[in-house]
Amino acid sequence: MKPKSNLIKYLAFFSIYTIWGSTYMLNKVAVSELPPFMLAGIRFCTAGVLMLFLARSFKKNIRISLQQMKNSMIAGFLFLAIGNGVVVWALSYVDSGFAALIIASQPLIVLLLLRIIEKKPIKKLSWIGVGIGFIGMLLLVTQEQIRQDESSLLGILMIIGCVVTWGYASIFVGKADLPGNYLVNSGYQMVFGGISLVLMSLVKNEEWINPTLWSTPVLWAMLGLILFGSLVAFTSFNYLLKTVSPEKVATSTYINPIVAMILGAVVLNETLSGQSIMAALILLTGVYFINMKRSPAVYLRRRAMRRIRNL
What's the rounded mean pLDDT across residues 9-22? Answer: 87
Task: Report whether 218 contacts 33 (CB < 8 A).
Answer: yes
Question: How many percent of the chain have pLDDT more than 70?
Answer: 87
CA atoms of 108 and 127, how far apart (whole Å) = 9
With CA atoms as reference, report the closest residue to 83 among 64, 120, 110: 110
Q: Is the pLDDT at 235 greater than 90, yes or no?
A: no
What is the reported pLDDT for 309? 34
Q: Is the pLDDT at 293 greater than 60, yes or no?
A: no
What is the reported pLDDT for 147? 62
pLDDT digits (tens, 9 = 90+) for 34-68: 999 999 999 999 999 999 998 999 888 999 999 99
Q: Phi and psi at residue 292, in whole multiples of 5°?
A: -75, 120
Look at the pTM and tell me if it is higher than 0.85: no
pLDDT digits (tens, 9 = 90+) for 71-125: 999 999 998 999 888 989 888 888 887 788 788 777 778 888 888 887 777 777 7
Between 250 and 281, the higher pLDDT residue: 281
Contacting residues for 249 by C-beta, under 8 A, at least 6 apart: 16, 170, 237, 240, 241
What is the reported pLDDT for 135? 84
Q: How many CB atoms lie within 10 A of CB 106?
A: 25
What's the rounded mean pLDDT across residues 19-37? Answer: 90
pLDDT digits (tens, 9 = 90+) for 149-200: 667 778 888 888 888 898 888 888 878 898 888 789 889 999 999 999 999 9
What's the rounded mean pLDDT across residues 193-209? Answer: 94
What is the reported pLDDT for 308? 32
Band of the pLDDT at 17, cuts 50, 70, 90? confident
Mean of all residue pLDDT scores within the chain:
82
What is the reported pLDDT for 305? 37
What's the rounded mean pLDDT across residues 206-219? Answer: 92
What is the reported pLDDT for 291? 65
SS (H, E, C) 102-138: HHCCHHHHHHHHHHHHHCCCCCHHHHHHHHHHHHHHH
* DSSP assignments along 180-227, one per residue: SSHHHHHHHHHHHHHHHHHHHHHHTTPPPPPGGGS-HHHHHHHHHIII
Q: Which range (17-21, 121-125, 299-303) has the least confidence? A: 299-303
What's the rounded mean pLDDT across residues 244-256? Answer: 73
What is the reported pLDDT for 44? 93
**Max mean pLDDT range (205-219, 244-258, 288-302):** 205-219
Q: Looking at this protein, which amino acid is placed at residue 129?
A: G
Q: What is the distance, to the nearest Å, from the Cα of residue 245 to the centroid of all Cα atoms in its chain?
A: 15
How distant, in Å, are the alpha carbons of 88, 147, 251 from that of 79? 13, 29, 17
Q: Is the pLDDT at 140 greater than 80, yes or no?
A: no
Half-sphere exposure of 239 (CA within 13 A, CB side): 21
CA atoms of 213 and 80, how far apart (whole Å) = 26
**Would you call 184 exposed, middle or buried from its count of C-beta atoms within 10 A (0-12, 13-18, 19+)?**
buried
Between 193 and 276, the higher pLDDT residue: 193
Q: How many CB atoms lie within 10 A of CB 21?
A: 24
Between 217 and 255, the higher pLDDT residue: 217
What is the reported pLDDT for 76? 93
Question: How many percent of the chain have pLDDT more than 90?
Answer: 27
